[in-house]
Structure 1
Amino acid sequence: MTPDHDAPDAYSVRNALFERPVTWRLQPARLRIDAGMKQPIHLDYADIVAMRLVYDPKRTEWNRQRCTITVRTGERFSIASVTYLDVIRIAPQTAAYAGFVRALARRIAAANPACRFVAGKPAWLYALMLAAPIPLLGLPLAWLSTLGVKGRDFLFYAGVLLVIAGLPWLYTLFRHKPRSFDPRAIADDMLPR
């Protein structure tokens, strides 16, 4: 296995305000996770069976992404692309996160070619995201009909509502679309920019 000269060998993140920073370290045959006062966790790359990259925005973290790895035992470990600095400030770590995740994916692929590399939400959750707005769009359309809006005006207002509600929804759906990826060449749109 060749070393990843272009990527950091460690990545630190503070997942919540009152948590200690977690440091992820790439070692020759395994991943080491240091979580403050706890004993370090060691995960052999060969024991990692799945890696999922997800666009995972929160209210204050619009560009937050998450990498979740699953080991043979079923345990999951998540790496976030943003870190808490204090009560108000949350800092993106875009370049460090992207470089670290790329290096981690290459090492996992070399040690376990059977590992699944997936981006986006799980298929069942994606299906729910597709269906969720349908009943919600019915409410404003029903409201328009109670106002006595009929015919062409109703179609116009319904179209405006669909565009206003639909564009952000379509963007979110595109970002969450489940798809596999090549761990040796992760596309730029799967990582924060």
Structure 2
Amino acid sequence: MSDDNQSQSIRYSYKPSLAGAPHAFTLTEQGLSFQAGFRSGVWRYDEIARFRLSYRPVSMLAHRFRADVTNKQGKSLTIISATWAGLISLKPQDDSYRAFVDELHRRVAGHNAEVICLAGLGPIAFAIGLVLFGVVMVALAGLLIRALATEAYIAALFMLGFAAWFGWHTGGWLIRNKPRRYNVADVPRALLP
């Protein structure tokens, strides 16, 4: 993007809950301007200390992403890639979320060389998730072996199908949310829609 594009304001907003006020963010020349509930303000780009990007599916939307932005005073803002669109539906905003997060990273890179960029879950949460995933997969393997030993082939087929589905969804979630650091100029594509 050219300097002319940086002088333009870029906006992103989402509704975090059905009854809550929308959270609105604007990238301005001065910094990241926000209105999130009762909080509002402008964080200069050089005040942003940390990014954390993660993949956070929910029951109503399996393709949802989250960006947590923290300033040097320890205050945090959350930006979600979906918005409430009705009583029981979430609407993805993939293109505008990706463009906003990319541009925010680009602007911070130009002002703050010491920003910490983290991807995925925290190491402890990831380790717990990995252990639980392993326990469930071992339990499913045990049930599959038991079903085959007792010639319960329908149950074995069910266990095999469930293990495949669980491995696909939970394994994919763990792979995307593996804890790691990244360069502010190189946003991980796996954590953007």
**TM score, norm. by length of structure 2:** 0.81
Deviation at 1:146, TM superposition (A): 6.5
| Alignment match, 1:10 | 11
Q: For structure 1, which runs of at least 5 residues remain unmatched after alignment? A: none
Q: How many pairs are equivalent?
A: 185
| Alignment match, 2:93 | 93
Q: Does 1:42 align with 2:42?
A: yes
CA contact (8 A) 1:66 1:79 kept: yes
| Alignment match, 1:68 | 68
CA displacement 1:99-139 (0-9 Å, x = unmatched): 01011111112221100112211122111111112333454
Q: Could you say what the CA RMSD is over the residues aligned between the two structures, in angstroms?
A: 2.9
2:170 partner amino acid: W
CA contact (8 A) 1:8 1:96 kept: no
| Alignment match, 1:183 | 184
CA contact (8 A) 1:8 1:99 kept: no
Tell me, in whole angstroms, the C-alpha distance in 2 between the residues paired with 1:16 and 1:75: 21
Instruction: Please give the residue correspondences for 1:1-193 in structure 2 after superposition, counting only pairs within 5 Å.
Output: 2-4=3-5, 9-35=10-36, 38=38, 40-140=40-140, 143=143, 149=149, 160=160, 164=164, 165-192=166-193
1:64 partner amino acid: R
**TM score, norm. by length of structure 1:** 0.81
Deviation at 1:186, TM superposition (A): 2.4
1:189 partner amino acid: A
Change (3 A) 1:138 1:74: same
Change (3 A) 1:63 1:146: closer
Q: For structure 2, which runs of at least 5 residues remain unmatched after alignment? A: none
Tell me, in whole angstroms, the C-alpha distance in 2 between the residues paired with 1:84 and 1:147: 43
